[in-house]
Amino acid sequence: MNDNKTNNPTDTAEDSISKRVSVKLSNSKKVIADYLDAKFNSLPTLHKRITLLMFGLVMAVVCVSLIIRSMNDAQNSLSFRIDQITIPKDIYQNPNYVNGLKRILRVKAILDSLRKSPKGIAVYDSLINARPGMMDSINSLIENYQSNYLH
């Protein structure tokens, strides 16, 4: 298929304006660069070397001072500190978290009832022997739910 592009008069006017502005900017940049180049090249070689050496020394001093400052504990108050990233608590209760807490509390209640009943103590002991850290994990989950999800 043959694509026929229609040139609007506004497109060509915008293109010509952007080209003229681009040419003016590049010409002015060239004039400024030539002026600075002529000024710098007119300086004696010794003066150029001294200027380069002074600039290098200033940059080296700045870099060394930044390194020393970052290692020095006494001056940490002058620099800004990075705070620990924390997860904010939700202001809205999520029903999934509440249901999860209820399920964990139900498991703990069942295990407590097994431990207190004469017939269930054998089942409880076998569970604890098979999974020694189970009650600690359940208590840790309950504490985690209560501290993070419930207000």
What's the pLDDT tens digit per position in 48-77? Answer: 899 999 999 999 999 998 888 777 765 555
Q: What is the value of pTM for the model shown?
A: 0.38
> Within this chain, do residues 111 and 67 fall inside the same structural domain, yes or no?
no
User: Can you give the residue range of the structural domain that contains 67?
Assistant: 14-71
Kindly report, residue by residue over 104-128, the tens digit of the pLDDT: 999 999 999 988 988 888 888 888 8
Q: Is 45 domain-assigned?
A: yes
Contacts with 10 (C-beta within 8 Å, 6 or more apart), sequence order: none
Residue linked to tokens 């600690």: 136
Q: Is residue 140 part of a domain?
A: yes
In a domain, 42, yes or no: yes
- Res. 78: pLDDT tops 70: no
Domains in the chain: how many in total? 2
Alpha helices in 42-133 (DSSP H): 45-71, 95-116, 121-130
* Residue that the structure tokens 């108050």 belong to: 77
